[in-house]
């Protein structure tokens, strides 16, 4: 068995154990918390276990939409984890569902997944975008919590490219950073509205509600869209990815030192934190892939000319990271 297959197998075993543990714990505490308003309700009209539905919602005076995947093992009496997944620029909620594979039963049969749709297929935080997607997210979260039996300590965020950048917007938001447990941006575009651009030292504005935000980023060394080395783009500044990660480690009051862990061919995890905070912040860096959602199977990213499949799958790593980082409320 190759090293990368061993890593993948260990992630799968950990996920299976986590699902069993979460189910057992939840089964002992079925709707004890009256704040879990969606528990005990039947699924909304037209929705079925194991299927995805398109939902419309009013937000900030606009009619907007999102996809919601109800896992085959969803039980309306057991609090369930939720993942919000944001598409990249010029992509859609449907394309993100196909890309991230979070609805693939190989990876997930127990978690609800929400795919918001951006106005003009992009997100707040991208230069020139004025849509209030933070409010949109808050409105979706409130609706999801009212319709499904949601574990409020296990609501997570991921996304690709502009959607990855919006993960960072949410992690830096003084309100929603206290509602979401952990964040996993992929090939993220972390724009800063300042020029000239000194990518290694640019100040990264951020006002999180806490100093223990788990964040695991993924980036390719051959990304020619959002360069690993940062730089000016769309008349704003992109930080280098190492600078971006080091700033998150500092916000979480972690040591600037990190541990390098091999993940697969050409791929390492830079892990920050020690003791109980080990891995609170991390970066998975693949030196040879481009602006992609890392996958060993063909997908819409790695089949573009000049791209190729990665030597690892980001999806089970993200699920494993989320599994070990629930929201801790003191």
Closest CA to 86 of 94, 96, 95: 96
pTM: 0.90
Q: In what helix (H) or strand (E) does residue 26 lie, and over which residues does it extend? A: helix 3-28
Instruction: Give the dihedral sign, CA 101/102/104/107.
Output: positive
Give residue-wise pLDDT tens across range 201-234: 999 999 999 999 999 999 999 999 999 999 999 9
Question: Which pLDDT score is estimated for 20?
Answer: 44
Give residue-wise pLDDT tens across range 46-76: 999 999 999 999 999 999 999 999 999 999 9
Structure tokens at 96: 């993100």
What are the CA-CA distances from residue 281 to residues 89, 94, 252, 253, 284 (Å)? 25, 29, 8, 11, 10
Mean pLDDT of the chain: 92
The answer, yes or no, to whether residue 325 has pLDDT greater than 50, is yes
Mean pLDDT of 97-118: 97
The answer, yes or no, to whether residue 242 has pLDDT greater than 80, is yes
Task: Spell out the residues 6+ positions from residue 24 whose beta carbon is closer than 8 angstroms to its own.
Answer: none
What are the CA-CA distances from residue 263 to residues 4, 267, 293, 323 (Å)? 7, 5, 16, 18
Asked if 86 and 102 count as a contact pair (C-beta separation under 8 A), the reply is no
Question: Which pLDDT score is estimated for 28?
Answer: 39
Structure tokens at 230: 């940062």
CB atoms within 10 A of CB 328: 10
The answer, yes or no, to whether residue 185 has pLDDT greater than 60, is yes
Question: Which pLDDT score is estimated for 295?
Answer: 98
The answer, yes or no, to whether residue 85 has pLDDT greater than 90, is yes
- How far apart CA 240 and CA 206 sit, in angstroms, is 16
The answer, yes or no, to whether residue 9 has pLDDT greater than 80, is no
- How far apart CA 307 and CA 118 sit, in angstroms, is 26
Residue for token pair 């949601």 = 150
Question: Which pLDDT score is estimated for 37?
Answer: 83
Closest CA to 40 of 148, 128, 126: 148
Task: Give the per-residue SS3 of 93-141.
Answer: HHHHHHHHCCCCCCCCCCCEEEEECCHHHCCCCCCCCCCCHHHHHHHHH
- How far apart CA 319 and CA 308 sit, in angstroms, is 23
- How far apart CA 258 and CA 243 sit, in angstroms, is 13
The answer, yes or no, to whether residue 289 has pLDDT greater than 50, is yes
The answer, yes or no, to whether residue 34 has pLDDT greater than 70, is no
The answer, yes or no, to whether residue 303 has pLDDT greater than 50, is yes
- How far apart CA 177 and CA 183 sit, in angstroms, is 9
The answer, yes or no, to whether residue 296 has pLDDT greater than 80, is yes
The answer, yes or no, to whether residue 322 has pLDDT greater than 60, is yes
The answer, yes or no, to whether residue 195 has pLDDT greater than 50, is yes
- What residue ranges define each of the domains in the chain, with the CATH number in brackets? 41-323 (3.40.50.1820)
pLDDT band at 36 (very low <50, low <70, confident <90, very high): confident
Share of the chain above pLDDT 90, in %: 88
Question: Which pLDDT score is estimated for 330?
Answer: 63
pLDDT band at 281 (very low <50, low <70, confident <90, very high): very high
Closest CA to 80 of 136, 27, 15, 16: 27
- How far apart CA 208 and CA 252 sit, in angstroms, is 10
Question: Which pLDDT score is estimated for 329?
Answer: 74
CB atoms within 10 A of CB 298: 10
The answer, yes or no, to whether residue 116 has pLDDT greater than 80, is yes
Task: Spell out the residues 6+ positions from residue 303 whose beta carbon is closer than 8 angstroms to its own.
Answer: none
Asked if 18 and 322 count as a contact pair (C-beta separation under 8 A), the reply is no
């Amino acid at each position: 068995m190759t090293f990368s297959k061993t890593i993948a197998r260990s992630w799968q075993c950990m996920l299976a154990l986590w699902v069993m543990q979460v189910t057992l714990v939840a089964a002992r505490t079925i709707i004890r918390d009256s704040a879990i308003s969606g528990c005990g309700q039947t699924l909304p009209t037209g929705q079925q276990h194991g299927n995805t539905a398109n939902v419309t919602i009013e937000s900030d005076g606009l009619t907007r939409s999102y996809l919601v995947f109800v896992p085959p093992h969803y039980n309306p009496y057991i609090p369930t984890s939720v993942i919000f997944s944001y598409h990249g620029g010029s992509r859609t909620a449907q394309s993100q569902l196909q890309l991230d594979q979070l609805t693939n039963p190989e990876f997930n049969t127990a978690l609800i997944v929400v795919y918001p749709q951006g106005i003009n297929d992009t997100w707040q935080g991208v230069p020139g975008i004025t849509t209030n997607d933070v409010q949109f997210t808050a409105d979706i979260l409130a609706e999801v919590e009212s319709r499904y039996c949601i574990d409020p300590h296990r609501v997570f965020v991921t996304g690709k490219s502009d959607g990855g950048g919006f993960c960072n917007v949410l992690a830096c938001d003084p309100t929603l950073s206290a509602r979401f447990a952990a964040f996993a941006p992929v090939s993220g575009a972390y724009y800063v509205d300042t020029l000239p651009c000194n990518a290694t030292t640019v100040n990264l504005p951020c006002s999180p509600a806490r100093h223990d935000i788990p964040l695991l980023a993924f980036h390719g060394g051959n990304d020619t869209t959002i360069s690993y080395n940062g730089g000016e783009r769309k008349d704003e500044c992109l930080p280098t990815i190492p600078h971006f990660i080091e700033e998150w480690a500092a916000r979480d009051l972690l040591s600037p030192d990190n541990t390098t862990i091999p993940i697969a061919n050409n791929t390492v995890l830079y892990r920050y934190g020690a003791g109980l905070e080990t891995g609170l912040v991390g970066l998975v860096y693949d030196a040879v892939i481009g602006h992609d959602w890392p996958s060993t199977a063909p997908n819409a990213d790695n089949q573009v000319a000049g791209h190729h499949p990665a030597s690892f799958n980001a999806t089970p790593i993200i699920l494993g990271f989320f599994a070990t980082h629930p929201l801790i409320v003191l």
